[in-house]
Amino acid sequence: TVYDSTLIQLPKVFNEKGNITAINNWEGIIPFTIDRVYYLYDIPGGEDRGGHAHKELEQLIIAASGSFDLMLSDGTTNKTFNLSRPYYGVYMPPGLWRELHNFSSGAICLVLASEKYEETDYIRDKEEFKRYKRNIENAFKEIS
Ligand code: TYD
């Protein structure tokens, strides 16, 4: 559920000449091994991104520059994070619908991902996502 998504404070090496944040797999700061890094940038004013869910992929999303809102939904409950600091990240477990809104100009949305890009892992239709969640829930009820 959305309650499994969490804001993670990242280490910050402070320096008067500029700060550094490093994320190493071996430190266990985030609960998955990073296989892919990508970032969104040059986002035109007023545009929204996301609008999909992943079946298996785990991600950490960071506002490396500027700010944006991350809206998560598990099909029942919504949760919104306002990201505006490069030393915070939101951990997203699999099975959450995500939308990105209100990008500031020059915003950079940095994403650390547990798997390679795989189109079959995406659910891009909200109704299909809700059906998918209901099916998982029902299957879980049957075995418990
Ligand atoms: P998508 O994840 O749908 O964008 P967003 O959710 O940010 O709106 O990705 C858009 C396209 O970019 C996708 O159809 C293929 C390409 N893409 C890659 O080639 N590799 C990647 O790792 C990602 C995330 C996207």
What is the ipTM score, two decimals?
0.89
Domain count, the chain: 1
Per-residue pLDDT of the chain (144 residues; tens, 9 = 90+): 999 999 999 999 999 999 999 999 999 999 999 999 999 999 999 999 999 999 999 999 999 999 999 999 999 999 999 999 999 999 999 999 999 999 999 999 999 999 999 999 999 999 999 999 999 999 999 998
The answer to whether 113 and 38 are in contact (CB under 8 A) is: yes
- Would you state the pLDDT for residue 144? 86
**Could you confirm whether 101 is annotated as catalytic?**
no
Range of the domain at 14: 2-143
Question: Which atom of ligand 1 lies nearest, measured to the CA of 98?
Answer: 6
Q: Which of 57, 60, 115, 117 is the pocket-test mutation for ligand 1 (most atoms within 8 Å of CB)?
A: 117
Residue nearest to atom 12 of ligand 1 (CA): 117
pTM for the full model?
Answer: 0.95
Cα–Cα distance, 87 to 1 (Å, whole number): 24
Question: How would you class 53 by CB atoms within 10 Å of its CB: exposed for 0-12, middle for 13-18, buried for 19 or more?
Answer: buried
3-state secondary structure of 24: coil
**CATH code of the domain covering residue 43:** 2.60.120.10
